[in-house]
Amino acid sequence: MRRLILAIPFALTLASCATSPTGRTQFMLVPPDVAINESRLAYAQTLEELTGSGRMLHDPALSERAGRITGRLVAAAVRTWPHTAGWEWSVALIDDPEMVNAWCMAGGRMAIYSGLVSKLDLSDDELAQVMGHEIAHAVANHSAEQMSLAIVQGLAVAAVGIETGNRDKANAADMLATVALSLPNSRGAEYEADQLGMELAHRAGYEPAAAVTLWNKMRAEGGSPGALQFLSTHPNPENRAARLAAQAERLRNQPPAQPPNSYPVRIHP
């Protein structure tokens, strides 16, 4: 039985390898289209819950700023990855002054928590680096990758449950696919999002060095509960600032990018 369980991930990996935009090999049992559809449903449910609890943020200034910055980032993303032109690009502004967080689901559905901007006092360049990083997770199909890994883990858990007659373990397999969207990204996926996100922000006309000041602010804020929520899904190794600084220097040696025309991004509310 143990040999069978260990063989499941190996066998599926042989049949389900994909390549990320940086050339990294990915395990992709779940097709990106499935991840996009699941994210669409999760986003709609999230917006419904936020609206019902009165946590959607009505802030015209932040709405304009978020639309302008993400509009340029999305324009650069669509230029680089044309298939994303069909995504439903949007940003939900969430009223939570203690939460330092932002995300982008598969398919381009984003969120910005008010605490991210206010507690870190972000410049436009720094906010562009945050959202460039999050958009990079989406274009690199990291949600599909997480869901795929969760399903394989679930198969192993279910196999043990079926073999031992433990229905709790067998039922846990179904839960893993559901929670995959909120699992922390691997270190490899984080490095990839750092690289792609900074390149994306640079192509959108934003300052690469802002990625370094951003993560220094994030580390300084790391002791607060809201910041810990963000860092729990975004591993922050000690050498991250050095890696970001090296990449920023390489990008700054390139000709400055011409900011693209803003792409239409829907802002909620």
Which amino acids are annotated catalytic?
134
Dihedral over Cα of 135, 136, 141, 147: its sign: negative
Q: What count of other Cβ atoms lies within 10 Å of the Cβ of residue 23?
A: 7
Question: β-strands 90-94, 109-113: how paired?
Answer: parallel
| CA-wise closest residue to 27 among 203, 151, 173 | 151
d(Cα 200, Cα 258) in Å, to the nearest integer? Answer: 12
Angle between helices 142-164 and 187-203 (to 10 degrees): 160
Give φ, ψ of 81 to 5 degrees: -125, 85
Nearby residues of 213 by Cβ (< 8 Å), 6 or more positions away:
123, 126
